[in-house]
């Protein structure tokens, strides 16, 4: 059955892979992110290949006014959102707590927590009214275990873990599913962003082992959204086989 799926952070990485996976299966998509040019290119590519209706909404999840305007602009045909994938997020910097850069901290908290909250607050009421829906939050292994210098990024992902559990409790009486997907290392633009464009340093993160691909996460999400209505995956931790813990990767 065709579903309407709202994906934050569809311009790159996991969200981009989800867009391809869901479009290939002919779902109706609302694709979002800040980079409007990438969204338009993605829409054109997907529509040329698949029979999927696509709406793109460029906005910054940290800007409540922009989030509100974008979501309020959704036309009727796309307005019954069945699935919200709260994926937009980032790590910025990797410093000891006493050397942390306050602006990096603000960006992570504003994006990973407040952005996820803004989008959820604006989309979930209609799910409640319709008594159906599925919210998928992209957490992280960093929301299960801390690691050296991970401090504030880990705190935001521990926060996503807590919010996922809380949302499930608040929404259970409306039949809304809430799932957290918590990946280990996935090769995306994540490390390029964390290291502020130092691509050589970013590449080293994935040296000597086979990381997850964004498509692996999209496959898992696709599995979660296709279960019968009485079955919910609450929490799925997905790791590269070579990664045993947040800070233990076996490299060869
Ligand atoms: P990417 O950097 O490849 O993608 C991040 C996406 O988030 C982009 O589409 C970006 O779009 C969007 N985004 C970032 N900031 C904002 C913002 N302020 N407003 C709107 N969109 C924003 O990284 P990943 O695909 O790896 O990251 C996706 C999620 O997965 C994140 O929540 C991350 O924490 C999580 N994760 C990643 C792991 C990894 O190893 N890669 C492991 C575990 C979890 P744009 O720049 O166009 O706005
Ligand atoms: C991204 C994975 O281990 O760099 O959430 O925190 S990690």
- How large a percentage of the chain has pLDDT more than 90? 100
Tell me whether strands 235-238 and 176-183 are parallel, antiparallel or unpaired: parallel
CA distance linking residue 119 with residue 112, whole number of Å: 11
Which ligand ends up closest to the CA of 189?
1
User: Which ligand 1 atom lies nearest to the CA of residue 90?
Assistant: 34
Ligand in nearest proximity to the CA of 138? 1
CATH number of the domain at 77, please. 3.40.50.720
Pocket probe mutation, ligand 1, options 188, 206, 235, max atoms within 8 Å of Cβ: 188
Cα(134) to centroid(ligand 2), Å = 24
Residue 143's pLDDT is what?
98
- Tens-place pLDDT, residues 170-221: 999 999 999 999 999 999 999 999 999 999 999 999 999 999 999 999 999 9
Q: How far, in Å, CA of 86 to CA of 171, rounded?
A: 16
Q: Which residues are CB-contacts of 212 (< 8 A; sequence separation ≥ 6)?
A: 183, 184, 185, 186, 187, 238, 239, 240
Q: Which residue ranges have their beta carbon within 6 Å of ligand 2?
A: 140-142, 150, 185, 190, 246
| pLDDT in the model for residue 245 | 98
pLDDT (tens digit per residue) in 217-250: 999 999 999 999 999 999 999 999 999 999 999 9
**Token pair of 113 as six digits:** 């927590």
Res 215: pLDDT: 98
Nearest atom of ligand 2 to the alpha carbon of 157: 5
Q: Is 153 a catalytic residue?
A: yes
Q: How far is the CA of 163 from the centre of ligand 1 (A)?
A: 18
Count of structural domains, the chain: 1
Instruction: Grade residue 33 by pLDDT with cuts at 50, 70 and 90.
Output: very high
- The CA 60 to ligand 1 mean position distance, Å, reads 12
> Residue 136 contacts by C-beta under 8 Å, 6 or more apart in sequence?
83, 84, 85, 86, 87, 178, 179, 180, 181, 221, 224, 225
Question: Which residues have a Cβ under 8 Å from the Cβ of 244 and sit 6 or more positions away?
Answer: 250
Residues of the domain holding 98: 4-249
Output the CA 193–ligand 1 centroid distance in Å. Answer: 9
Provide mean pLDDT across the span 107-118.
Answer: 99
What distance in Å separates the CA atoms of residue 140 and residue 227, rounded to the nearest whole number?
Answer: 22
Both tokens of residue 144? 């299960």
State the catalytic residue, choosing from 153, 174, 206, 222.
Answer: 153
pLDDT at 28: 98
Query: What is the per-residue pLDDT for 40?
Result: 98
């Amino acid at each position: 059955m065709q579903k309407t799926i709202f994906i934050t952070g569809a311009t790159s990485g996991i969200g981009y892979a989800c867009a391809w996976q869901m479009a290939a299966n002919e779902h109706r998509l609302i694709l979002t992110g800040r980079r409007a040019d990438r969204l338009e290119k993605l829409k054109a590519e997907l529509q040329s290949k698949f029979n999927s209706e696509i709406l793109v909404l460029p906005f910054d999840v940290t800007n409540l006014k922009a989030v509100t305007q974008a979501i309020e602009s959704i036309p009727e045909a796309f307005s019954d959102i069945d699935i919200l994938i709260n994926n937009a997020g980032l790590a910025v910097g990797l410093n000891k707590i006493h050397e942390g850069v306050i602006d990096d901290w603000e960006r992570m908290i504003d994006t990973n927590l407040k952005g996820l909250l803004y989008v959820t607050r604006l989309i979930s009421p209609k799910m409640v009214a319709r008594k159906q829906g599925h919210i998928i939050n992209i957490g992280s292994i960093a929301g299960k275990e801390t690691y050296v210098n991970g401090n504030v990024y880990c705190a935001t992902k521990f926060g996503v873990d807590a919010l996922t559990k809380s949302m499930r409790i608040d929404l259970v009486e409306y039949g809304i599913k809430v799932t957290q997907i918590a990946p280990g290392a996935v090769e995306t633009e994540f490390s390029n962003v964390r290291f502020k464009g130092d691509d050589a340093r970013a590449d080293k993160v994935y040296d000597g082992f086979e990381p997850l691909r964004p498509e692996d996460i999209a496959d898992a999400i696709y599995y979660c959204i296709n279960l019968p209505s009485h079955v919910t995956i609450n929490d799925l931790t997905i790791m590269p086989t070579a990664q045993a813990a947040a800070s233990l990767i076996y490299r060869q």
